[in-house]
């Protein structure tokens, strides 16, 4: 069976942009403003000749008070159904409390995780990615989902754990 890869992370970190980058086409809805309500959406994807199902944990209602909980809930479901997880963090923002909460879920689930430090659009911001070693999930892969930077290394790492 095709392995399932879930893309998780806070709203607006670039999950859907990443999904589109991997698919090589624009299918996942990219939103400048977080808050679109949408369930998980699965796509047939492949990388280097390997097929997998890519799950965009599209959107969840964002409200200032409940955001932390909702992200964690959504992430929990996605982690459960996945064989491996792409955990996207916005490197320009750094690790937030919500990110830390997701890390706890990931630890408990014991699924393989590739930590993606997104929005590293150029070399100047690579240091932002290195800050994410603090999450304790191993190497952060600096990527720019929007430009495609760093995707080869990150996805090769994913295939290694599938």
Residues binding ligand GDP (CB under 6 A) = 9, 11-17, 30-32, 34, 118-119, 121, 144-146
* Part of the chain binding Mg ion (CB under 5 A), chosen from 12-20, 63-71, 132-140, 150-158: 12-20
Name the residue nearer to ligand GDP (CB basis): 110 or 124: 124
Of 89, 91, 92, which is closest to residue 115 (Cα–Cα)?
89
Sign of the dihedral defined by the CA atoms of residues 85, 81, 104, 65, in that order: positive
**DSSP state, 21?**
H
Closest distance of CB 93 from Mg ion, Å? 16
Compose the 14-43 pattern: x for residues touching Mg ion by CB under 5 A, - for all others.
-xx---------------------------
Residue 116 corresponds to which tokens in the numbers above?
Answer: 């993606």
Q: Which residue is nearest to ligand GDP (CB)?
A: 14
Closest distance of CB 30 from Mg ion, Å? 7
Of 45, 57, 46, 51, which is closest to residue 16 (Cα–Cα)?
57
Give the distance, in angstroms, between the CA of residue 99 and the centroid of all CA atoms in the same chain.
11
Residues of span 98-157 touching Mg ion by CB under 5 A: none
Partner interacting with residue 145 (select from Mg ion, ligand GDP, none; CB below 5-8 Å by kind)? ligand GDP
Partner interacting with residue 76 (select from Mg ion, ligand GDP, none; CB below 5-8 Å by kind)? none
Name the residue nearer to ligand GDP (CB basis): 84 or 116: 116
141 SS3 class: strand
Of 90, 58, 95, 51, which is closest to residue 75 (Cα–Cα)?
58
**DSSP state, 13?**
S
């Amino acid at each position: 069976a095709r392995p399932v890869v879930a893309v998780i992370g806070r709203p607006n970190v670039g999950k859907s942009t990443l999904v589109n980058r991997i698919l090589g086409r624009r299918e996942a809805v990219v939103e400048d403003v977080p808050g679109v309500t949408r369930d998980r959406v699965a796509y047939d994807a492949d990388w280097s000749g390997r097929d997998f199902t890519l799950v965009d944990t599209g959107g969840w209602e964002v409200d200032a008070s409940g955001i932390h909980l909702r992200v964690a809930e959504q992430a929990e479901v996605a982690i459960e159904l996945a064989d491996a997880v792409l955990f996207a963090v916005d490197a320009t923002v750094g690790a937030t409390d919500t990110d830390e909460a997701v890390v706890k879920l990931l630890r408990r689930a014991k699924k393989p995780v590739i930590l993606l430090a997104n929005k590293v659009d150029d070399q100047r911001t690579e240091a932002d990615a290195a800050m994410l070693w603090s999450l304790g999930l191993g190497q952060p892969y600096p990527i720019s989902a929007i430009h495609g930077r760093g995707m080869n290394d990150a996805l090769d790492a994913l295939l290694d754990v599938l």
